[in-house]
Amino acid sequence: MATIKNIIFDLGGVVINLDIPRTISEFEKLGIAGFGNVFSQLAQTPLFDNFDRGLISEDEFFNSIKTQFNLKQPIAELERAWNAMLLDFPGHRLEQLRAYKQRYNTFLLSNTNTAHIRVFEKDLSDTHSVANLEPFFHKVYYSCAIGLRKPDPEIFEFVLRGNGLKPEETVFIDDTLMHVEAARTLGIKVLHLPKGEEFKGLLDTILD
């Protein structure tokens, strides 16, 4: 069996804590009844996909939501609701990432958008005195910066090809089963992180 040399980490639910129901609740307070159902429906439309791919601006994204649901609140209120899901970066996880970086080629691969990046980078600065996530990985990939999004196989191929990585020497860890299965089809070793568990416990079962 090939030795693991490379680790690709997901961000939300793996490195940063997330609470998606908070965003649903905040949008419901703004007047969108049953936003949990709306959110699921909108996820099937190009709106969220295009925002995560960096194909539309923040103004276009938030104005689309405001117009579709006839919201009267300023854009700043919609932005606050959208970012409510972002919680904290536990310090022990960041230290573990530093340790893995010393022994493996490590990468971050996240479906995210400019609004979320701005908020979680401010939290990193305020709480951990680092400007961004780059100190913890050899390379950081955000979907909105590269125009690709999980679970499309192309995004995994982009990371593998761009860094000369062999799939059989690479492990990908994500809390979304769909993303894990997509990576598996390319021969990447995968770990699905159950809710409430820590990536270190899962990784240590397969790493030397």
Phi/psi at 183 (5° precision): -65, -35
Q: What is the pLDDT of residues 79-114, one digit of tens each?
A: 999 999 999 999 999 999 999 999 999 999 999 999
pLDDT confidence of residue 44: 59
pLDDT category of residue 38 using cuts at 50, 70 and 90: confident
Count Cβ atoms below 10 Å from residue 64 Cβ, excluding itself.
17
Maximal CA-CA distance, the chain: 59
Same fold, 6-18+87-203 and 20-83: no
Dist. CA 68–CA 25, nearest whole Å: 18
Q: Say which CATH architecture domain 20-83 belongs to.
A: Orthogonal Bundle (1.10)
pLDDT category of residue 35 using cuts at 50, 70 and 90: confident
Q: What percent of the chain has pLDDT over 70?
A: 97
Mean pLDDT, the chain, rounded, equals 94
Question: Which secondary structure element, helix H or strand E, spans residue 140, and what is its range?
Answer: strand 139-142
Average pLDDT over residues 123-144: 98
Dist. CA 15–CA 133, nearest whole Å: 10
Domain boundaries, the chain: 6-18+87-203, 20-83
CATH top-level class of 6-18+87-203 = alpha beta
pLDDT confidence of residue 171: 98
Dist. CA 165–CA 17, nearest whole Å: 28
Q: What is the pLDDT of residues 4-29, one digit of tens each?
A: 999 999 999 999 999 999 999 999 99
Average pLDDT over residues 34-44: 71
> Could you tell me the pTM of the whole model?
0.95
